[in-house]
Amino acid sequence: MSTVTVSPEEFTLVFFEAEHIASKAGEIAHRVGLDADIRIEVDEASPLSRIRVRSVDPVELWAQGGAFEDPKRPRYISERNLAEALGRLILRARDRRDPAFGEVPADDDLTLQQHNVWDTYCLGRLERAGYEVAKARWLYHFRTRQGFTDVADATFERLWQADGLTWADLEEARLEAEQARAAA
């Protein structure tokens, strides 16, 4: 079982509990097969929702507080948003640690389209691991990045249902959607 630490240990600007975040991250890591100690840093002062994998050895994850927030109750945690954000980060870290997945640019160097394709692949696996995921929301998000085409919709569904993909597979899917968008 992974040991998870969360910083800050006590939140003062939002009504989050570090223990709860750590517990959820440990549960997700166990379910998706990431056996590593995890450090999570939360920027509680930011209502934005950026997330990033800072390191995979050791696993260090970073999130702005808005990534975990309930949009209807600012400053309070949303269980689905927490699981979706942590799940994407944990699965990205797991993928990056797997040599068979291939070399991936740092999170800050990925394009929006690359993030989007990878997120889709991660969220499909997260849903199959038993977590509630807002699939329709993520399909719309995919369409806004990859194009409102039949090819983009088919690519989304293929990524959502997939397992065992590599970075090259994700890049191929992104390029396929990009070519369809350009031709539309």
Number of domains in the chain: 2
pLDDT > 70: percent of the chain: 99
Asked whether residue 139 falls in the same domain as residue 86, the answer is no
Structure tokens at 22: 């750590």
Asked whether residue 66 falls in the same domain as residue 113, the answer is no
Q: Residues 36-85: pLDDT tens digits?
A: 999 999 999 999 999 999 999 999 999 999 999 999 999 999 999 999 99
Asked whether residue 107 falls in the same domain as residue 93, the answer is no
Asked whether residue 127 falls in the same domain as residue 70, the answer is no
Assign 2 a pLDDT band (cuts: 50, 70, 90): confident
Is residue 67 within 8 A of residue 53, CB to CB? The reply is no
Q: Give the global pTM.
A: 0.95
Assign 184 a pLDDT band (cuts: 50, 70, 90): confident
Please report the pLDDT score of residue 21 as a whole number: 98
HSE-CB of 154 using CA atoms within 13 angstroms: 8
Q: What angle do CA 162, 50, 128 make, to 5 degrees?
A: 25
Instruction: Name the one residue in this structure whose structure tokens are 């440990």.
Output: 26
Please report the pLDDT score of residue 117 as a whole number: 97
Beta bridge partners of 60: 39, 55
Q: Last residue of some domain: 97, 130, 145?
A: 97
Asked whether residue 73 falls in the same domain as residue 15, the answer is yes
Asked whether residue 85 falls in the same domain as residue 152, the answer is no
Please report the pLDDT score of residue 1 as a whole number: 67
Cα distance between residue 18 and residue 27, in whole Å: 14
Asked whether residue 125 falls in the same domain as residue 181, the answer is yes
Asked whether residue 78 falls in the same domain as residue 39, the answer is yes
Asked whether residue 87 falls in the same domain as residue 111, the answer is no
Asked whether residue 93 falls in the same domain as residue 182, the answer is no
Give the structural domain span for 82: 1-97
Structure tokens at 57: 């050895």
